[in-house]
Amino acid sequence: MFNKETEYALKGLVYIQVQNYKELRPGIAEIAQEVGAPPFYTAKILQRMVRLGFLESLKGKGGGFYFDKTQPQVALKDLVSAIEGTKSFSGCGFGLKQCDENNPCPLHEQYAPIREAIYKLLNEESVQSLASKLFARNENKFNWLG
Amino acid sequence: MFNKETEYALKGLVYIQVQNYKELRPGIAEIAQEVGAPPFYTAKILQRMVRLGFLESLKGKGGGFYFDKTQPQVALKDLVSAIEGTKSFSGCGFGLKQCDENNPCPLHEQYAPIREAIYKLLNEESVQSLASKLFARNENKFNWLG
DNA sequence: ATATAAAAAGACCTTTTAGTATTTTATATT
DNA sequence: AATATAAAATACTAAAAGGTCTTTTTATAT
């Protein structure tokens, strides 16, 4: 569904949020470990998340990553858009530039509802909503690495 | 939805099938033109399609590409699988190796029906079914280039 | 037979994605 | 103030995807 960068970013942010709910601020090594992503790559991606304003960080001893509670939730749509653009939830299944009800590609009828479902999912769910589910399950053992 | 190679392959095959319905056997230059794909790349991709057994070709004067009518239809699922694997219609939305009803990722509940709809679409539609739709519409002007 | 038209083969090149490593800067503890 | 710790910045490498080009083979029409 997503490319590697988006996947690691999403997993990382969700993990950070779950830890934040426990009043913890994980660092790169821990996050990379939990998420099953290469540590250097994880660092690069999380730094980008901070620059994009999705996440906060604190350098030095006791530092790590955390979410600013006064900021709005991070919708998956915004996260995905920022990393890999909007093509996963918009645009024609057949790859046509112009494809709509009036001028449909041969996949339009079947694909349009799928695209809408994807959009709905990405628009309604957020890093926080996913983290809450895991936190509610009280899941300390994530199956990221599965 | 698909990567470039799959997209060009699908468009090319559908175009070839539509022309075949008219008893024509288009060549690379024409196909590339209609599909809006780079000619050399189109050649490479169609050659691969022939080697994979999805398509027939005839060299020399009057040659071109065509489908063997005695062969079964080319399901989108098989085409997509051969080019880019199965990850677009199988696997976890969150990227987990093991994710199912018993051990669901936080996206599982919403994503499972989407994945199933994609699978259904790719399994039920074929190059021929798409070409038939276009042929039935008697569409000579494709909007590939849109 | 020969010329010509077309695909096949295969070697390249370019861009993007994925991943690694090193140095610099900020923070908290002592 | 010194030190240890952790992220930021930045440069680099590797692999995959996307794309180009030249040469070879094969079929057909003349």
In B, minimum Cα distance to A97 occurs at B146
CB atoms within 10 A of CB A135: 17
- Would the pLDDT of A75 be above 90? yes
Coil, helix or strand at residue B58: strand
Q: Which residues pair with B56 in a beta bridge?
A: B66
Tokens of A35: 């998420």
**pLDDT score at B145:** 54
Share of chain A above pLDDT 70, in %: 94
Residue type, B88: S
| Comparison of pLDDT for B145 and B126, the residue scoring more | B126
Instruction: Report the largest interatomic distance among the alpha carbons of chain A, rounded to a whole angstrom.
Output: 60
Query: From CA B10, how far away is CA A120, in angstroms rounded?
Result: 27
Domains of chain B: 4-136 (1.10.10.10)
Q: Could you say which residues from 72 to 101 on chain A have a Cβ atom under 8 Å away from some Cβ of chain B?
A: 91, 93-99
Q: DSSP strand E in A78-131: where?
A: none
Mean pLDDT of A109-132: 96
What does DSSP assign to residue B73?
P
Mean pLDDT of A104-124: 95
Chain A residues near residue B106 by CB distance under 8 angstroms: 14, 129-131, 133-134
Quick check: A86 and A2 in contact, CB under 8 A?
Answer: no
Share of chain B above pLDDT 90, in %: 82
pLDDT in tens, B74-91: 999 999 999 999 999 998
**Cα dihedral: B107, B108, B111, B117 (round 10):** 180
**pLDDT score at B6:** 97
pLDDT in tens, B29-75: 999 999 999 999 999 999 999 999 999 999 999 999 999 999 999 99
Report how far Cα B113 is from the mean position of its chain's Cα atoms.
22
Position A81 confidence tier, pLDDT thresholds 50, 70, 90: very high
**pLDDT score at B137:** 85
Query: From CA B52, how far away is CA A138, in angstroms rounded?
Result: 49
Asked if the Cβ–Cβ distance from B146 to A107 is below 8 Å, we say no
Chain B residues near residue A130 by CB distance under 8 angstroms: 106-107
Angstrom distance, B37 CA to D29 C1':
31
What are the DSSP calls for B99-112, one per residue?
-SSSS--TTHHHHH
| Comparison of pLDDT for A146 and B134, the residue scoring more | B134
Q: Specify the pairing of strand A64-66 against strand B64-66.
A: unpaired
Asked if the Cβ–Cβ distance from B106 to A11 is below 8 Å, we say no
Of the listed ranges A89-103, A105-119, B5-19, B22-36, the one predicted with least confidence: A89-103
Q: Specify the pairing of strand A56-58 against strand B56-58.
A: unpaired
Asked if the Cβ–Cβ distance from B134 to A1 is below 8 Å, we say no
The pair phi, psi for residue A27, each rounded to 5°, is: -105, 180
**Cα dihedral: B73, B3, B1, A142 (round 10):** 110
Asked if the Cβ–Cβ distance from B106 to A134 is below 8 Å, we say yes
- Would the pLDDT of B146 be above 80? no
Angstrom distance, A86 CA to C18 C1':
20
Angstrom distance, A64 CA to C29 C1':
16
Coil, helix or strand at residue A65: strand
CB atoms within 10 A of CB B75: 17
Q: Is B146 on the interface with A (CB under 8 A)?
A: yes
Query: From CA A34, how far away is CA A137, in angstroms rounded?
Result: 17
CA nearest to A27, candidates A10, A54, A47, A7: A47
pLDDT in tens, A44-53: 999 999 999 9
- Would the pLDDT of A137 be above 90? no
**pLDDT score at A33:** 96
Asked if the Cβ–Cβ distance from A14 to B113 is below 8 Å, we say no
